[in-house]
Structures are given as C-alpha cells and as structure tokens.
Amino acid sequence: MNQIIDISNWQLLLGLLFILLAQISSFVFHLGLNRDIAIGTIRTFAQLFLMGFVLTYILQSDHQLLVVGVFLVMVVSAIFIIKGRVAEKQVSYLFPTFLTMLVSYFATAMFVSGLIIGSSPWWEPRYFLPAGGMVIGNSMSALAISLERFFRDLRQQRDQIEMQLSLGAGYREASAEIFRTAVKAGMIPSINAMMGVGLVFIPGMMSGQILAGIDPMIAIRYQIVVMLMLVGATTLSSVTIMLLIRKRCFGSGEELLLTSS
Amino acid sequence: MLEPILEIQDLSFSYDGSSEKIFSHLNLKVTAGEFLLVKGPSGQGKSTLLRLICRLQQPCGGSIRYRGREITKIAPSELRSSISFVAQIPRMIDASVKDNLLLPFTFEANKAKSPPSDESLRLMLRDFYLESVALAQSAMKLSIGQMQRLAIMRAILLNPDILLLDEPTSALDPESAAMVFSLIERLNIDEGKTLITVTHSDYVPKKPLAAVYRLHERTLHKEQ
C-alpha cells in the first residue's frame, strides 16, 4: 500500500491531452483563451519543476535560513499577484499588505507546524513550507477579493459616506458597513470550503497524502488542521489589512480621499 | 463689532495635480445668526467652499476659524456636529424615515445629545412641509423634494451652530424649491440659525439682512 507509482515523462505528457481539449474548444468557440492556456500550461510545468528541485534541495540541506527565505519569496510573489488583481492607484496599500501577510502567515505556519503538528524544529521544511504555502495561496485570493471590494464600494458609496461624515460620524462609523462587507467577501470562500469539504470535494492536500499511501484517518486530521488554519489566517490577515488600509483612505480631516476618477 | 463665528482668511484651493487655483486669497467673516447666500455660475467652486468649511476637502493654503479656533485643531466629528453640511443631492439610508432622522444620534460624537421623541419628530415634519410623511415609512420612497427637506431636518436635529446648504433646490421643481427656501428663511428668522447657502438660482431672500456674495474670479465679492 505504501508503494507510490511514479509518473514517467511520457505519462506526464499524456496529461497534455486535457490541454489539447481546452485549446480545441477555445478555437472552435472563439473563446480567445488559446494564448492564456498555452502560457498557463508552460508556467505550470516550469514553476512546479523549479519548485520540485528547490524543495528537494531544501529538504536535503535542512537549513533554517533557506526555509525562511523560500517563505519570503512566496509572500513577495503573492504581493505581485495581488497588485495585478487590485487596480488601485490613489491609496498605497502594498507595503502594509506585505507586512501583514508576512507576519500573520509566518505566525500561522509556525503555530501549525511547531505546535499543532509538533514538528521539531518548528521550521522543519516538510511541514512548515506546505503549511505556509497553503496559507499564502488561499489567503492571497481572499485578500484580493476584500481589497478590490473595499476600494470599489468606498468609491461607489462616496455620497453615503460623506452624508454620514457631515452628520458627525467618524471615518470608522461612516465606513463600517463597507468594511464588514469587504472582510466577509474575503472570508466566505474559506467558510464555504469547510461546508463542502469531504462531501463535495476531496481537498488537494488530503488527496496527495492518500495517493502517497498515508492512512486516510491521518490524512483527514491534517486536512482538518488545514481548513481551520485557512479560516484563521484569512480572518487575521484580512481584518488587520483592512484596518490599516481604511485609515489610509481618509485624510487628516477624516475626509474620504478616494475620488471616482 | 461682534466676534465672527466663522472667519476665513487667505483661503486658496486647487484640485490635486492641477496648478490652476479655484480660490486664491478668499476672505470671509460670518457672525452668528447671519444668512449668507453665495451665488455664481456652476463650476466656480461654490460647493467646494462649503466642503472646505466642514473639512470634507482640504485647502492648499489659508485658514478657517470656527469660534476663534483653527478648524484643523478641532476633531472632525466634533466640528461636523457643530457645522452641518447638507449636500446637493440628499442621501438617505435604506431604512424608515425615523431611522434616517435619528441616524446622527447613533454616532459616537453625538451620543451626549438626546434624540427627539416621536411626537416632536412628527411636529417637526409638519413644520418642514412633510405632514403627509409617516415616521415608519421607507425614506427611499420619498420624492427628491421630500428627501431634501428631510435631509435639512436631520441636520437641524443636531442643533448645529452653522448650517451649510449646497444648492438645496437644484434638483427640485419650482413648488418644492419655494418650500425649501421658505423653510431656510424661517430657520434663520425664527430660530436664529447661521446659514450659508450656495445657489446658482435667481432666488432673492425675503429677509433684508441676508448678505449676498458672488463667487467670481477666484474670490468672494459682496453684492450691495
């Protein structure tokens, strides 16, 4: 049972038939996705092979700084992806977002790896990096949703906000509803995932462990920890970031700085 | 000479990224109980002037003093409870008329003020030509003219020292506009409210003491 079947290069290329199917569909139905599918496929191969080599090296070298360095690279990459998805020019949000992501995700990965799983040392790459990777990957999407929603609603509801400010509301009071809606929008996917897990889908990590021959009862324990960790990390990072960013959207007179242009 | 309740000195303003000044060296003194009407064509910055007074925008230079204090030294929410601004297009929250009227009392800065009873709200609705409006009905279903009067009433409930009205009749039909102007005059004459009203209409206030200013060439000129 513990013997894992390797996938040869030829077998891997056979997987490209799925991509061929997508390319044909895009061509026939004029979806305009041929270029994106091609680039996405090349990047999937390149990035994952690169990660495979890096992880093999890190797991063998067992060096703390290297593990932390890889974690840092993952957070920096996530920031660039968020930057691409949140088109905000008036308020500088990247630095506080980066700092919050770095601190909250590091703390979460450290807590899970060192305390819940109990690996020793806490940064043992086999546990710390997958935990960190999953936190970054999932929370990054949540943050992008929250930030994009927050900036959009502040602009769209400018008149409502100014009406409340004019009647003596503080900036926190005037933007309370928009704040709540934005944070909720980011959190809902990870909460929905908890509703559907094990019923609607088998999560990637658990599937991977089962494929690798791990007892399903151990795999589900890991998966439960991951689901809880994702909700916690998403909440912690999105609430912190939104609190920091909200302050930047208002000036010294608590006037809304975002304009519709 | 009475101490001014509001004093503007050398005020200048330009929009972000623009070198062209909307105002330059604008000066104004307002005494308590005064009724100021600021006129001028659209796009001259009349609304901006009101927004600068209540800090919804920041000037490039000069100073604005309220009761002798620089407004930048006053907490914004405290300032806006004393100098109330009613926007050109009235905004309501999606709730009842009563909830809209009591909205300001839910804010921290106004917690010390006691909200009016339903009975006094009904009496006020009548004074504001809104006798047909029920407290429980949805504010979103009111006409724009009714909303405008409700917005002024909501601002008045806080008992501000100064009321800033931005084009209060621009979106209204002549009949509703006449009601709003009559209301504004009564607030000044009967209750002694200090009013600064911006308008580009040809309205001439009944009260002979109302001071009319014209915003022209980046500064205010008093009309005789």
Write the pLDDT tens digit of every residue in A3-15: 678 889 999 999 9
What's the CATH number for B6-222?
Answer: 3.40.50.300
% of chain A with per-residue pLDDT over 70 = 98
Phi, psi (deg, nearest 5) at residue B182: -65, -40
Burial class (CB in 10 A: 0-12, 13-18, 19+), A39: exposed
Mean pLDDT, contiguous 10-residue spans, chain B (224 residues):
88 83 89 90 87 95 95 95 94 96 96 94 91 95 92 93 91 81 86 89 69 83 78
Judged by CB atoms closer than 8 Å, whether chains meet at A173 and B103 is answered as no
- Average pLDDT of A174-181? 96
pLDDT digits (tens, 9 = 90+) for A85-133: 898 888 999 999 999 999 999 999 999 999 999 998 999 988 999 889 9
Separation of first and last alpha carbons in chain A: 61
Place of tokens 């009714």: B146
Judged by CB atoms closer than 8 Å, whether chains meet at A252 and B158 is answered as no
Distance separating alpha carbons of residues A129 and A205, to the nearest angstrom: 13
pLDDT at A2: 54
Distance separating alpha carbons of residues B171 and A88, to the nearest angstrom: 33
- Candidates B66, B77, B113, partner chain A, best to mutate (most A CBs within 10 A): B77
CB B5, CB B64: distance < 8 Å: no
Alpha carbon of residue A175 to chain centroid: 25
Distance separating alpha carbons of residues B101 and B95, to the nearest angstrom: 10
Q: Is 70 exceeded by the pLDDT of residue A1?
A: no
Q: Is 60 exceeded by the pLDDT of residue A84?
A: yes
- Report chain A's mean pLDDT, rounded to a whole number: 91
Tell me which of A100-109, A150-159, A199-208, B147-156 is least confident.
A199-208
For A243, the token pair is 């609190």
For residue B17, give how far its alpha carbon lies from the nearest alpha carbon of chain A (Å). 12
pLDDT at A224: 92
Place of tokens 């038939």: A17
Which residues of chain A are within 8 Å of residue B53 when distances are taken between CB atoms?
A: none
pLDDT band at A174 (very low <50, low <70, confident <90, very high): very high
- Average pLDDT of A188-194? 90
Q: Is 90 exceeded by the pLDDT of residue A166?
A: yes
Distance separating alpha carbons of residues B192 and A33, to the nearest angstrom: 68
**In A, what residues contact B, Cβ < 8 A?**
159-160, 162-171, 173, 251-256, 259
Which stretches of chain A are DSSP H helices?
A: 9-14, 16-28, 34-61, 64-85, 94-110, 125-156, 158-166, 171-174, 176-196, 204-211, 216-248
Please provide the DSSP assignment of A247-261 as one string. HHTB-TTS-B-----
CB B82, CB B161: distance < 8 Å: yes
Strand order across the beta sheet in which B211-216 lies: B83-86, B162-166, B194-199, B35-39, B211-216, B219-222
